[in-house]
Copies of this chain bind each other. A is one copy, B any other.
Amino acid sequence: MDNRPIGFLDSGVGGLTVVKELMRQLPDEEVVYIGDSSRAPYGPRPAEQIRQFTWEMVKFLQSKNVKMIVFACNTATAVAWEEVKAALDIPVLGVILPGASAAIKATENGKIGIIGTAMTIKSDIYRQKVQLLSPNLAVTSLACPKFVPIVESNETSSSVAKKIVYETLKPLVGRVDTLILGCTHYPLLRPIIQNVMGQDVKLIDSGAECVRDISVLLNYFEINRERTQLYKAHSFFTTASSQAFDAIAENWLKMPVKSRTINL
């Protein structure tokens, strides 16, 4: 057993979709969250910069004495997960392999779509992982650079959002039976994405899939938190406005959130 918190990092608020699923599946675990909203989106940045920003968040979480770090960010996972996992002596999870595995299981016609930030799509990592495990699957990738800014500005139900999602996803409609939401911000746009893609298309939430892996690794490394009356306090940190962060977080997590603004 290990009663220390689990650390989550993301370029902004997208990783909250992973935290929400964690709170549902593993309600006894404590969370420390860092979102780098002042430098979001990560997607269009050069890999070396993403790598540096990710390490800054990793070091911040280490200073909070976390027992595990979750890259709740596909872009950071694509660029720096393997390197950080190899360097740390605590478990480090990414969101890409869980998402890729779930999509392979979900597809029936063998046609999988992947949407993500420019960097995630450019890295080609989802296609590589899917086809390494399952070479006969057809994988269509599409970068959606406008989605993260919509979510970070809390406009996920505006008519502009609907128009952007519709126009961006048009090339994929009717071409896949399974779509990986390869960015943790995208579940906040899920109703619109589902509507555009059609109700039959299976949407794979890479962050939610990752929580299953968190649960298994807590067991494997024997670091579950005890289900006791111990005081539990989640902590949220952002590099931008805490008010803006709290508005999105409270709406998404359905609980009061008081984040703190920090510099990395």
Contact = CB atoms under 8 A, between A and B. Distances in A.
B226 A132 contact: yes
Oligomer copy total? 2
B101 A228 contact: no
B135 A227 contact: yes
A213 B217 CA distance: 8
Interface string A95-106: 001100100000
A217 B220 contact: yes
A212 B213 CA distance: 9
A101 B228 CA distance: 16
Residue of A136, A217, A227 with most chain B CB atoms under a 10 A cut-off = A227
A219 interface: yes
Contacts of A228: 135
Contacts of A133: 28, 224, 226-227
A215 interface: yes
A1 interface: yes
Nearest to A219: B97
Contacts of A226: 132-133, 135
Contacts of A243: none
A97 B88 CA distance: 25
Given A98-B216, A135-B228, A216-B216, 6 more contacts: A91-B220, A98-B219, A132-B224, A134-B227, A213-B219, A216-B217
24 contacts: A1-B132, A28-B133, A93-B220, A97-B219, A97-B222, A98-B219, A101-B215, A101-B219, A132-B224, A132-B226, A133-B224, A133-B226, A133-B227, A134-B227, A135-B226, A135-B228, A136-B227, A212-B212, A213-B216, A213-B220, A216-B216, A216-B217, A217-B217, A217-B220
